[in-house]
Structure 1
Amino acid sequence: MKEASNQNRSFVDDIDKEETFPLNLEDTRDDLKFLLKGSQLIKVKSGSWQKQRFYKLQEDCKTIWQESKKMLRTPESQTFSIEDIRDVRSGHKTEGMEKYAKNIPEHLCFSIVFKDQRKNLDLIANSEDDANHWITGLGKIIAHSNSMNQKQKLQHWIHSCLRKADKNKDNKMSLKELKNFLKEVNIEVNDYHAKKIFQHCDKSKTEALEDEEIEEFYKILTERKEIDNIFQKYADAEGFMSCQNLVRFLYETQQEEDAVVAAPALIQRYEPNERAKRGNAMTKDGFLMYLLSEDGNIFNPSHSKVYQDMTQPLSHYLVSSSHNTYLMEDQLTGPSSTEAYIRALTKGCRCVELDCWDGPNSEPVIYHGYTLTSKILFSDVIKAIKNYAFKTSPYPVIISLENHCSLDQQKVMAQHMTTILQDMLLVVPIDGNRSHFPSPEVRWDRRHLLPGLLGHQVGENTPRLEKGAPTEEQSLLRVLAVIRGEGKRKELLNISSIFFLPLPFSLFWFSPFV
């Protein structure tokens, strides 16, 4: 635990390396110093609740401390981990900022968006410089965390759990605190065994472990006999695995095809013992470091990018879909939010659902019909989809419209989609092909759009779209009317109507089922 300041120093040193952060070094150092010093920010919770609070980065460079005026708030509840941050957004990029800080200049505003279900933290800085320090500084720390290898992430996680377990913050671990730590890391051990190991590691006889003693305690508890057996199978009597035996292990156990080339490189990369490294051999510590690394991961690194055939029609693929996308919580009384769409899209979701209903002031809204869930504007959702559809994936996004709107508000929907999405909206099949869907990798370019007949006859009473080149708004409105399909007409319809929003353009596809 005494290593917190050293780890902080190490983090600052990492920032000075151009390969870690290809940014202006002086600016980076200034950002970090500013965050460690902290600053006053206005926390925004509603139109009437906007209060000054002090925020600062803790010395471990892993947690943010926030001032609280609540009487019974515990110290733990006044901090949050940077690991829990999904995104830091500048300006009015969250629903809260759009609602409650619209009149505040965008350059003063930023929001911290969390990975879990907790609410966004909307903040207003005193100056543009302060806001930039927070936005860029947090961004660099998050990027540093994301760039860590598997072993570094494990050490980082262990350190965070140890810090949590050290209730009195004395950088020492009592037996009780270590038991709490074991619960945090999901290690089950009976009290007798834990006490026996604790006494073995307590070399100083102070009834508290620190530094190397804590490390030894954890190492003993997490020993894996099966890994020991594998290592001993390939190691010599002195505890060294030769390069030749490492090649055997890579071939026989790991099924690596280029083992002869890989083995020497792995020794140089992961072996901490200089004597073993000079002898082109690997110790057990080096072997464990290799197993915990990206090279030892069962996942094929070449599959971190799309490697499947993406030239087939869209209907040949399973799509990552979201049902009732607008809901943040339950479907009876939970809140609806544009943030739910942003989170789904940035996680790679390619199909989102919009349940559309008539709203006040002639503005369509989205909510779970006939329930107490809150309502959000249809136009706000379309804006969110436009801004975040391709942050994670370049492939088309399907917008599934469950339309319950009157004809008048369908017209408003059509206006919003055409004015907000503009050139991202394609209103006729690419190259006029109605026999099958395009592939995800087709060139989604307006030069491929051919005006003409947009509809498809499916029944005697089905509305037909006339030939010619209708405006996008007219075409879209007709399709929305078909989507609605009430009464007898609904039984006659056999039409698929979906949106695709590929980068940099998007399309509206109208086709019979295939």
Structure 2
Amino acid sequence: FQNGVKMALADKSKSGCLENEEFVQFYKILTERKDMWRVFQDYSRDGQTLTLAELKDFLRQEQQEGERSWEHAQELIDRYEPSETAKKQGAMSIDGFQMYLVSPEGAIMDPQQLTLSQDMSRPLSHYFICSSHNTYLMEDQLRGQSSQEAYIQALKRGCRCVEVDCWDGPNGEPVVYHGHTFTSKILFRDVITTLGEYAFKASEFPVILSLENHCSVEQQRVMAQLLDTILGDMLLREPLDGLVHQELPSPHDLKGKILLKAKKIGGLEENETLTDEATDEISDEAEPESPSAENLSAEAICLHDKFRSLTQACNFLSPQKSKFSRELSDLVVYCKSVHFHSFEYSRLHSKCYEMSSFSESKARKLAKDTGTEFVHHNSRQLSRVYPSGMRTDSSNYNPQELWNVGCQIVALNVQTAGLEMDLNDGLFRQNGCCGYVLKPDFMRNDDSFDPERPQDWDGYTSLQLSIQVISGQQLPKVNQKEGSIVDPLVRVEIYGVSQDQAKQETSYIDNNGFNPLWNETLNFIIHVPELALVRFVVEDYDKASRNDFMGQFTVPFTCIQPGYRHIHLLSKDGTAIPLSTLFVNVKISEVTTEV
């Protein structure tokens, strides 16, 4: 109806159709933004243009650009002002102003953070690493399809740690699938071929191949041969420069390399002669978890019990020891899988290249009970966390809890859209989406940082985040029925240490998804900015049932640009929703306490 009125206003000839100039006028009326016009008017003396000085004042006062504002003002005019006349006068019209604010430079995420901008020369243990669990699965953990396409999607998404579950297959060929389930099987050979082709298309930094090995010694030798011949020089076979150091090498040092994570007999320092076969304890990940901690359907519990019975039967028929071939063991360099005993044991005995895997429940308990020790442990060694075996529907846990204690490899079922993957995508959107994000200083040194008590840390300082949710533009329809109109609201969610977890939302706007106007301000206190993620969610309000998801965008707090910004919304699966945005004003300030 609103667009029909605007079209009638543009149809000056009253012909019922729009001629060329009338269409241009209609487009201008359609895209007119009163919310941005008001901001423009606050800084324009004549109400028509922003002079270079006025634009500089806007950049300094509202966008908090400081000394950079003068030079940047001229750059913005040159880049976004469509009028040559205004350009010659060193001024910006409302059209140029609007084009700037909807551009990447006007987005809430600092575009410089979208490029490779972090120090990549630190040890591997100093980075969060984008990671996938049961990467071969396209769907659920019980009946889902296994496919090479799942590896392609995960690697394109930026994953730098992928998982392969290997079992004996027919004709001496190892296969990949979720053991003791009805998931389909694919050849190990095909998985490694896919990995070799796609490992470094999205990022040049190392890929960790997390191997859950259930194969006989004979088929392990086949696996080692396939890894060697298919991956060639991409596969890391020995320590860099032939030496074993006290720290892991850096992502920069390991560019273009694939690292095998698996059991290894002996250490890198030892030149012992291994027999063709060696024996070690089974992987922690082979042990199914109890269902008591999860809220599951009766069917899921029944299926889990059957899976557990099968596993126990297999363990009864074969001893609780697994044999490993020398050929496969020799390919493990910097990611030797070891059983976790205690933080004290690791501190006294473990090597930097030894890493442990933790179920989500075990990792959560350690994080809550011994957070500071977990942070110290993860400054020296890699830790991998994986979802509960009870998550048969391929659901995910909240990764933030484990990032809070510095766990690097927090593996998720990347095929499952939702909050958890939004957080994962949000964290790894920075640093050029390369799959590696440098941890904060206090997680890389000997600071006594406890995520449960951040105020006790010497470097503690809190910030106030104020977000004025101004308006929305062309929000997506949820119900595709003709005539359906959404009632949108915006919720801002903070994820970080426990003290920072918070949510606030605006009121909903009746029947307007085209240009809803809120002008509501939400305020938050952020205790550990370096770990906080801010998630903007738009929902269609429904008083009779659960609100419908419309779009979201998640950004690390440290990557937020203050000032008037647009948020370009993403769909549930993380893809862009064209032209769908929120317009906000962000203010960040130090928290002052009155004496």
The TM-score, its normalising length taken from structure 2, stands at 0.44
Deviations 1:387-441 (A, max 9, x none): 2111121211111112222222222112211222233333444444275432212
In 2, the alpha carbon distance for the partners of 1:209 and 1:350 equals 53
In 2, the alpha carbon distance for the partners of 1:285 and 1:375 equals 56
Specify which of 150, 158, 166 is matched with residue 356 of structure 1.
166
In 2, the alpha carbon distance for the partners of 1:210 and 1:507 equals 70
Specify which of 244, 252, 255 is matched with residue 433 of structure 1.
244
In 1, the alpha carbon distance for the partners of 2:254 and 2:208 equals 17
Deviations 1:445-500 (A, max 9, x none): 99xxxxxxx7348xxxxxx99844779xx6xx759996598777569x9xxx9999
Task: Report how far residue 321 of structure 1 moved.
Answer: 0.7
Q: Secondary structure at the match of 1:352?
A: strand
Q: Secondary structure at the match of 1:318?
A: strand
In 1, the alpha carbon distance for the partners of 2:249 and 2:320 equals 28
Q: CA RMSD in A?
A: 3.9
- C-alpha distance 423-196 of structure 1, shift in aligned 2 (>3 A): closer
Task: Report how far residue 325 of structure 1 moved.
Answer: 1.1
In 2, the alpha carbon distance for the partners of 1:508 and 1:421 equals 17
In 2, the alpha carbon distance for the partners of 1:208 and 1:499 equals 75
Deviations 1:183-222 (A, max 9, x none): xxxxxxxx4x343233223334454556555554454344
Task: Report how far residue 265 of structure 1 moved.
Answer: 3.2
Q: Secondary structure at the match of 1:398?
A: strand
Q: Does residue 122 of structure 2 align to residue 312 of structure 1? A: yes
In 2, the alpha carbon distance for the partners of 1:366 and 1:321 equals 18
In 1, the alpha carbon distance for the partners of 2:152 and 2:115 equals 22
Specify which of 101, 110, 115 is matched with residue 300 of structure 1.
110
In 1, the alpha carbon distance for the partners of 2:21 and 2:279 equals 69
Counterpart residue number, 1:413: 223
Counterpart residue number, 1:237: 46
Task: Report how far residue 268 of structure 1 moved.
Answer: 3.0
Counterpart residue number, 2:89: 279
Task: Report how far residue 290 of structure 1 moved.
Answer: 2.2
Q: Secondary structure at the match of 1:282?
A: strand
In 2, the alpha carbon distance for the partners of 1:469 and 1:275 equals 80
Specify which of 54, 58, 62 is matched with residue 253 of structure 1.
62
Aligned partner letter, 1:441: H
Counterpart residue number, 1:79: none
Q: Does residue 175 of structure 2 align to residue 365 of structure 1? A: yes
Specify which of 95, 99, 103 is matched with residue 289 of structure 1.
99
In 2, the alpha carbon distance for the partners of 1:202 and 1:243 equals 36
Q: Secondary structure at the match of 1:380?
A: helix
Q: Secondary structure at the match of 1:353?
A: strand
In 2, the alpha carbon distance for the partners of 1:344 and 1:499 equals 27
- C-alpha distance 316-270 of structure 1, shift in aligned 2 (>3 A): closer
Aligned partner letter, 1:433: V
Aligned partner letter, 1:334: G
Deviations 1:268-322 (A, max 9, x none): 3322223322322221112112223344344334333322232332223211011
Q: Is the 8 A contact 2:121 2:252 kept in 1?
A: yes
- C-alpha distance 455-367 of structure 1, shift in aligned 2 (>3 A): closer
- C-alpha distance 490-440 of structure 1, shift in aligned 2 (>3 A): farther
Counterpart residue number, 1:512: 354
Specify which of 384, 390, 394 is matched with residue 204 of structure 2.
394
Q: Secondary structure at the match of 2:32?
A: coil
In 2, the alpha carbon distance for the partners of 1:370 and 1:354 equals 15
Q: Secondary structure at the match of 1:258?
A: helix
Task: Report how far residue 252 of structure 1 moved.
Answer: 1.0
In 2, the alpha carbon distance for the partners of 1:249 and 1:466 equals 64
In 2, the alpha carbon distance for the partners of 1:395 and 1:498 equals 23
Aligned partner letter, 1:291: L
Q: Is the 8 A contact 1:267 1:281 kept in 2?
A: yes
Aligned partner letter, 2:139: E
Counterpart residue number, 1:383: 193
Q: Does residue 339 of structure 2 align to residue 339 of structure 1? A: no
- C-alpha distance 466-267 of structure 1, shift in aligned 2 (>3 A): closer
In 1, the alpha carbon distance for the partners of 2:184 and 2:256 equals 38
Task: Report how far residue 344 of structure 1 moved.
Answer: 1.6
Q: Secondary structure at the match of 1:285?
A: helix
In 1, the alpha carbon distance for the partners of 2:172 and 2:210 equals 22
Q: Does residue 163 of structure 2 align to residue 321 of structure 1? A: no
Counterpart residue number, 2:32: 223
Larger Rg: 1
Aligned length: 298
Q: Secondary structure at the match of 2:131?
A: coil
- C-alpha distance 276-467 of structure 1, shift in aligned 2 (>3 A): closer
Deviations 1:229-267 (A, max 9, x none): 110011123512111111111111122232222223322
Counterpart residue number, 1:25: none
- C-alpha distance 290-199 of structure 1, shift in aligned 2 (>3 A): same
Deviations 1:85-135 (A, max 9, x none): xxxxxxxxxxxxxxxxxxxxxxxxxxxxxxxxxxxxxxxxxxxxxxxxxxx
Aligned partner letter, 2:207: V
Q: Is the 8 A contact 1:403 1:480 kept in 2?
A: no
User: Which structure is higher in helix share?
Assistant: 1
Higher relative contact order (CA 8 A, sep 6+): 2
Unaligned regions of 5+ residues in structure 2, if any? 258-263, 287-314, 337-352, 356-380, 382-595
Aligned partner letter, 2:166: C
Deviations 1:121-169 (A, max 9, x none): xxxxxxxxxxxxxxxxxxxxxxxxxxxxxxxxxxxxxxxxxxxxxxxxx
Aligned partner letter, 1:349: C
Q: Secondary structure at the match of 1:251?
A: helix
User: Which structure is higher in strand share?
Assistant: 2
In 2, the alpha carbon distance for the partners of 1:445 and 1:204 equals 64
In 2, the alpha carbon distance for the partners of 1:480 and 1:203 equals 84
Specify which of 230, 249, 253 is matched with residue 442 of structure 1.
253
Counterpart residue number, 1:59: none
In 1, the alpha carbon distance for the partners of 2:94 and 2:213 equals 62
- C-alpha distance 261-203 of structure 1, shift in aligned 2 (>3 A): same
In 1, the alpha carbon distance for the partners of 2:127 and 2:192 equals 25
In 2, the alpha carbon distance for the partners of 1:201 and 1:264 equals 34
Q: Secondary structure at the match of 2:163?
A: strand
Q: Is the 8 A contact 1:410 1:481 kept in 2?
A: no
